Structure 1
Amino acid sequence: MLSVDSSSLVDWLMTETNDERFIDNIFVEMCGKLLEAGIPVSRGTLHFRTLHPQWLGAKILWRKGLREAEISTFGYGVEDTAQFRHSPVSDIHGGAAVVRQHLEPVFGPSPAYPLYDELRLEGHTDYIAWPLKHTLGKKHIITFASDRPGGFSDDDLRFLADLLPAFALVSEIRLKNRLARTLLETYVGPHASEQILAGATTRGSGVTVGAAIMICDLRDFTGISDLWPRDDVIELLNGYFDAMSEPVEKHGGEILKFMGDGLLAIFPLSNPSACADLLHAIREAQVAMAALNDANVKKGHKPLGYGIGVHVGDVMYGNIGSRSRLDFTVIGPAVNIASRLESLTKELKRPVLLSRAFVEMAGCQAGMEHLGLHPLRGLGEPIEVLAF
């Protein structure tokens, strides 16, 4: 016997979840309320598709007794696997309005889906899956399982079905918030995305920060892009950016932009180890580039050359651009010096050049080679340059 009707849970979803940012927490609480209402749910899942550069989507899993949901991601290409094709999730994406399966032998044989065998072993007796419909035809999936003998009753299923429109709305709001953050992190980086989401969206908004600056550029890319097939060029660029970017992000740097075959990153001096972290990132990137070049040579390609310029100083960090199109980046004399040092690597035939100001702040002159004073285009006075 149900202790409440579904309208009370619909009201809760619509009016009392406003302060909860994360859909997994709302889902866990909703499943607990379903149990309190007499709905015999023992397991529930949400399957969301996302706009993420690495993951096609995510699954949120709740089991009876869990205080927090388990969250897992699945990559692109999962739809081509046998595990996906032989699953009720595939049926829903294929157009099924509902998938219902009794799991007890008394109800007869069921489709040979591995998931059903797993659910039986866990003690579940019934399973149901529905599409969770968002706006503009976007479709996700919600499932429930029961461990009560005989499974869900017709009243149980009507109760659950009545919740779907309200839960779809609540989940879409949270998912869009998460997607907005993911897209911003993908295209402008985690730190800039925080600033933008916090309201830094007007032209000229920003702050002055101290930062170690790294600018990297690929050598002879114009010739490569003219001669190589398009797909090979894209693969080469992606490999190069992986080699350079992953160490930067690993050591706390922020990649602000990719400029064709170039990269601009900063390490904010609010972190006392920023300069040392930048050097660790460069060393690891050099190792990664060496491995990438070994692979390219085995494919019959020439090894890739690159230049890195490093400086330190105050930069203006914020929104720059036209009235309707903005770029969240850094500008200032310190950025210009890093850029000029990167250009100087071509002349001096050294892959990495650093300003004396950076080296002194990093406290790492040992092992560095002093290359003397060099004039930099657009600057009045030459600066002392070092290499390692």
Structure 2
Amino acid sequence: MSSFLNKAGTAVEAGEGVWPVRRRRILDWLVNETRGERFIDNILVEMCEKLLASGVPVARATLHFRMNHPQWIGARILWKEGLAEAKINTFAYGIENTPEFLKSPVNAIHQGAEEVRKQLEDTADDEDSFYQELRDDGLTEYIAWPVEHTFGKRHVATFSTSRPGGFTNEHVDFLRDLLPALTLVSEIRLKNIIARTLLQTYVGPHASEQILSGVTTRGSGATVGAAIMICDLRDFTEISDLWPRDDVIHLLNDYFDAMSDPIERYGGEILKFMGDGLLAIFPLSKDTACHDLLQAIREGQALMAQLNQQYAGNGREPLRYGVGVHVGDVMYGNIGSRRRLDFTVIGPAVNVASRLETLTKEVKRPVLLSRAFVEMADCAKDMDSLGTFPLRGLGEPVDVFAFPER
């Protein structure tokens, strides 16, 4: 009869307390030795490898999490035997209403089931494509359990095996006993992800990293060089007075999609949406910042042209906008009251961009750029020089350039 040593160094004979000792080892690891691991997908992979080493024949495991994300309702982390890394899939809103999801074991758990267990070797009267996919992968049994986080947040863990006959009762008890520790470990990581996602959603990726790293006191921040872009929608007050509320919200989202997606794609950071306007910066720490800003504007204009074609087809007036662009040093950090802060940029350079955006109404050109910007971008030869303009609140007039008219 084989034996191994437990943590106290005592020999334990196989069949005499083997499973409790092995289970305890994994529980201890989950609770005490995963503190340094930030990502739950890595923990899932290592846990499954430890399960295999302990004699639990897991061939597939998943974690399904509901998320607070503007694009995704949830994510699935998938591990299969032989994979060094887990695969992560995200799912858009609306999937919860599809026939495939409604009849899935994950939905059954969300609807209150405490366990879904399926013997895959029995194919009688079973046409479910999900289970057939598992069979095609050589799996013989599937089990899903709820992972109960605080405040009634229910997620899902699943385990499958390719062992003939499926899991034994000892295997199932082993896995079930890990759930409380897995719940604790996964909730901590998920809350970290949610906090990071919410910050990125509402203040942008760079500002969120600053906040998470501890830049949370009023006045904290730094002076940075940046190309600055301020964009504003024209005639929005009239539109909001005349259009139904839902149509106005839909219009704003279309407009912000068109202008924002290129900004983010070219490395800009949108610091805030201000009603029908936005403020974005392209830090000069990147050599191509000014070029990237120009490309973002050009692509935004092209997307706005496509949007206006759709609006014209629906009998609506085209959307007009103004963009002001400048470059300079800005104070980048926390501004506000003692209890309510805004992570943003302020300074004379921001004021110039704002005044240029306002000037677009007067000169009837949608994009205006300062001489300082076009010289740094080395693009004066590609722009129309409109002359020198006094800008409200600024001491010196500013040489103003515009995109060429087509």
Matching residue of 1:362:
377
Counterpart of 2:305 in structure 1: which amino acid?
Answer: A
Matched, 1:149 2:164: yes
Counterpart of 2:215 in structure 1: which amino acid?
Answer: A
2:324 aligned counterpart, secondary structure: strand
Summarize deviations over 1:95-136 as a string: whole Å, max 9, x none. 10000111113xx73654221111111110111000001001
Matching residue of 2:132:
117
Matched, 1:339 2:354: yes
Counterpart of 1:21 in structure 2: which amino acid?
Answer: R
Counterpart of 1:76 in structure 2: which amino acid?
Answer: Y
Q: CA deviation at 1:331?
A: 0.0
Partner of residue 324 from structure 1, selected from 329, 339, 357: 339
Q: CA deviation at 1:20?
A: 0.3
Partner of residue 265 from structure 2, selected from 245, 250, 253: 250
Q: CA deviation at 1:308?
A: 0.2
Matching residue of 2:274:
259
Cα pair distance change 1:274/1:237, threshold 3 Å: same
Matched, 1:169 2:151: no
Matching residue of 2:215:
200
Matched, 1:6 2:29: no
Q: Give the TM-score, by structure 2 length.
A: 0.94
CA RMSD between the two structures:
1.0
Q: CA deviation at 1:387?
A: 0.4
Q: Give the TM-score, by structure 1 length.
A: 0.98
Partner of residue 252 from structure 2, selected from 221, 225, 237: 237
d(CA) in 1 for partners of 2:200, 2:75: 17
d(CA) in 2 for partners of 1:116, 1:325: 51
Matching residue of 2:236:
221
Answer yes or no: is the 8 Å Cα contact 1:86–1:114 preserved in 2. no
Q: CA deviation at 1:169?
A: 0.3
Partner of residue 128 from structure 1, selected from 135, 143, 147: 143
Matched, 1:274 2:318: no
Matched, 1:45 2:55: no
Counterpart of 1:145 in structure 2: which amino acid?
Answer: S
Count of residues in correspondence between the two structures: 386
Answer yes or no: is the 8 Å Cα contact 1:101–1:110 preserved in 2. no
Summarize deviations over 1:74-111 as a string: whole Å, max 9, x none. 11011111110121111111110000111113xx7365
| Moved >6 Å (runs of 4+) | none
Summarize deviations over 1:35-89 as a string: whole Å, max 9, x none. 0110011000010111111000100000011110011111101111111012111
Counterpart of 1:167 in structure 2: which amino acid?
Answer: L
Partner of residue 387 from structure 2, selected from 364, 369, 372: 372
d(CA) in 2 for partners of 1:231, 1:195: 35
Partner of residue 112 from structure 2, selected from 91, 95, 101: 95
d(CA) in 2 for partners of 1:110, 1:195: 56
Matching residue of 2:195:
180
d(CA) in 1 for partners of 2:304, 2:131: 47
Counterpart of 1:58 in structure 2: which amino acid?
Answer: A
Matching residue of 1:349:
364
Counterpart of 1:143 in structure 2: which amino acid?
Answer: T
Matching residue of 1:33:
50
d(CA) in 1 for partners of 2:127, 2:332: 57
Q: What is the percentage of aligned positions where both structures have the same residue?
A: 68
